[in-house]
Amino acid sequence: MIKGLGKLRYVVEQTFALVHHFERLAARWERRTELHEAYLFVACSLICWRRLRRPKND
């Protein structure tokens, strides 16, 4: 068994949960894959920006 696999799995599941908060990405409605990919890119950018914007607790 690979050690630390649970930590990696948690990060992946958490990322999917954050992306699914964007309703348009929860179910793929777009016929064109480039539009879906663009929405995914915007969602990931917003998630990263919000995470980096958090105040640091020293």
Cα gap 30→28, rounded to integer Å:
6
Taking a C-beta distance cutoff of 8 angstroms, is the pair 24, 39 a contact?
yes
pLDDT at 37: 86
Residue 19 CA to residue 6 CA, distance in Å, equals: 20
Given this model, what pLDDT does residue 20 score?
82
Asked whether the beta carbons of 43 and 19 are under 8 A apart, the reply is yes
Low-confidence ranges of the chain (pLDDT < 50): none
In terms of pTM, does the model score above 0.75?
Answer: no
